[in-house]
Amino acid sequence: MLPNISRILLLILLACSSSGAVAPKQPILGHRSAPLLKVNGLTFKDLNRNGKLDPYEDWRLPAQVRTADLVQRMSLEELAGLMVHGTLPSVGPMSPLGVGAEYDLVKVHEFVNEDHINTFITRLKGSAADFAKQNNEVQAVAESSQWGIPVTISSDPRNHFNQVLGAGSQDEAFSMWPEPLGFAALNDPKLTRRFGDIVRREYQAVGIRESLAPQADLATEPRWARINGTFGEDPEIAKRMVEAYVIGVQSGPNGVNSSSVAAVVKHWAGYGAAKDGWDSHNYYGRYAEFPGHNFAQHLIPFTGAFEAQVGSVMPTYSILQNLAVDGSLVEQVGAGFNRQLLGDLLRTKYGFTGVILSDWAITNECPAACRNGASAGNTPTPDDIGMPWGVEELTVTQRFAKAINAGVDQVGGTEQSNAIVEAVHNGSISEARVREAASRILLQKFQLGLFEQPYVDETRAAAVAGSTEFVREGQAAQARAVVLLENKQVASTGKPLLPIAPTNKKIYLYGVAAKAAEAAGFTVVADPAQADLAIIRAPAPYQSEHPNYFFGSRQHEGRLAFLETDAPYAELLRVSAIVPTVFVTTLERPLILTNLRPHTTALLGDFGISDEALLALVTGKVSPQGHLPFELPSSPEAVKQQKSDLPHDSQSPLFPYGFGLHY
């Protein structure tokens, strides 16, 4: 009797021949070391180099059939390698974030051929052409492995201004757009879908095929450090934006395909209800809480991703403190270890069938420096980072077992596939569960077309990533998303300050490049007394108030208001007494601007904007169209009194949700 896969292949081929189906179209095959096979005038890659066409190498077959064939050929160690999501190692001069200038291909070879790992996040930066070349070199290593399984290369967002390790990476090789909050401020699904499509094109051009986005968390706790990556606090708007991004980045509403960059929607679920605003990257911030009994609304944005057939879901780090779902108290462990949240809620109730990818480092230890903060004079190291919330007392192998048995298919931020093998050997994970998880991961590789074409055109990469058209669209979106909060009349003209024609106008600048203002037509002066107007641009205020703060300046948490000790605010007080003043700050969280308002002639909130785009807005070439994606509270006391899981519940907000003026 024929093996099961062979019988399926025979039936498919017989069905095609008897139905008069159109002959399959030969795809372009990217290869460097694998031999090619000719079968009936068609070409295939002999990835395992056995001299014959195996079902998993046959691009005519459905992805599910190819997956089943390859899974049955692989050893336990190889299947376990599929189930970890490592980091592409780098060497050479290190950036401030500790990333080298190029990949360490010796280490990549070890990860791929000895540890059998073939999914990695990249943190590399550089020119698009060089990035493409280096990613191709990684794929060449993978092609030389036993089964020739291509690498899936993932990335945190690169098309925004946010620069936080593990959350986002500003990369000048790509077009720059407002933060997701800016898309919520515009509430334009068509624009968000276009953005997702541009991300897809730019990522594909350099060899990135998985987007660790979008962030579907609701921004209901104003002090929370991760609000910048969300689509705001309204669940229905967030749902629309999440769905639009997934459709754009995955090239359509029907799931992962050969034109896709696979999306990973995160963080399932309730992350935005951070207790006291502390982020669950930190031990002291490991809880989310729901005093307003509003967990259900935190699930709504994810349904947009499900409707677009998102490829993957990432669980939150957080423990959902004392939350009951369907009448049962949720186990007090992080969501990556929680069978109720992953198996019962995500898989069964919502019917999700894709890959569940854990957030990074959940199986790591959390040593004293992690729990208590680094001691004076010491800097935390990567070895100090771990988020095993609720399972701190388990061993690393036990954490892997608990996560995988809860529903995680792939563990993020680790290369410890040996822990999965050990867990199978000691009986804490079944081989069937390993095959199930590995099959989901392999299926996406086949659906993405990576087995046929893992390589990219290095000469074309720079023409796509960061193209003039994409940069122009991004800058227009940056300016449109700005929220005009205040635009007072100027006594000398009797008209609102903005927009202002630059002709014969002198301008004083703080935090804005003189070159950009001169290019816009202004004359830049060094003394505000000589100016017709001033622009003061300030980064958002923050200051950790927690004694065990671990990540240093990595995340912006703590206070939301400007103080007189903040240099931009002190400059506002000085300059606004002399000349009409525009104050611009980034609304990365719901800032408290009460003390700024009396001193500003015009007050703007941006979501990431270049100086050039800002000057286009000031001069009226672009009109601000943004509306607040969250309310701006009036005082720290109002922030403390609101409930972490409820939107729009701040008492007497300075600016209400949805506020926004126009020219």
Are residues 623 and 660 in contact, defined by beta-carbon separation less than 8 angstroms? no
Check if the beta carbon of residue 385 is closer than 8 Å to that of residue 364. Answer: yes
Q: Identity (one letter) of the amino acid at 472?
A: R
Distances (CA, A) of 482 to 261, 394, 406, 494: 29, 47, 42, 24
Bridge partners for 102 per DSSP = 91
3-state DSSP call for residue 433? helix
| Cα dihedral sign, 431-437-441-442 | positive
CA-CA distance, 210 to 119, in Å (whole number)?
10
Beta strands in 193-295 (DSSP E): 210-211, 262-268, 287-288
In the chain the first and final C-alpha atoms are separated, in Å, by: 76
Host H or E run for residue 313: strand 312-315
Half-sphere exposure of 3 (CA within 13 A, CB side): 9
Q: How far is residue 297's CA from residue 290's CA, in Å, rounded to a whole number?
A: 11
Q: What is the largest CA-CA distance in the chain?
A: 93
Measured at the CA of 310, the angle between CA 212 and CA 138, to 5 degrees, comes to: 45
Cis peptide before 556 (omega within 30 of 0): no
Helices 63-73, 4-18: axis angle to 10 degrees equals 160
Active site residues: 234, 359
| Nearest C-alpha neighbor of 211 from the set 142, 305, 84 | 305
Q: Are 301 and 250 in contact (CB under 8 A)?
A: no
- For residue 128, report the phi and psi dihedrals to the nearest 5 degrees: -60, -40
Structure tokens at 617: 């807005």
33 closest CA partner among 140, 113, 138: 140
Which string of DSSP letters, residue by residue, matches 1-41? Answer: ---HHHHHHHHHHHHHHHTTPPPPPPPPPP-SSSPEEEETT
Q: At what angle do helices 431-447 and 417-425 cross, to 10 degrees?
A: 150
Query: Are the C-beta atoms of 478 and 606 separated by less than 8 Å?
Result: yes
d(CA 55, CA 261): 25
Which residues, other chains included, contact 641 with Cβ-Cβ below 8 Å and sequence gap of 6+?
650, 651
Q: Where does residue 63 rank: exposed (0-12), middle (13-18), buried (19+ CB within 10 A)?
A: buried
- What crossing angle do the helices spanning 431-447 and 63-73 adopt, rounded to 10°? 140
Q: Are strands 324-325 and 328-329 parallel, antiparallel or unpaired?
A: antiparallel
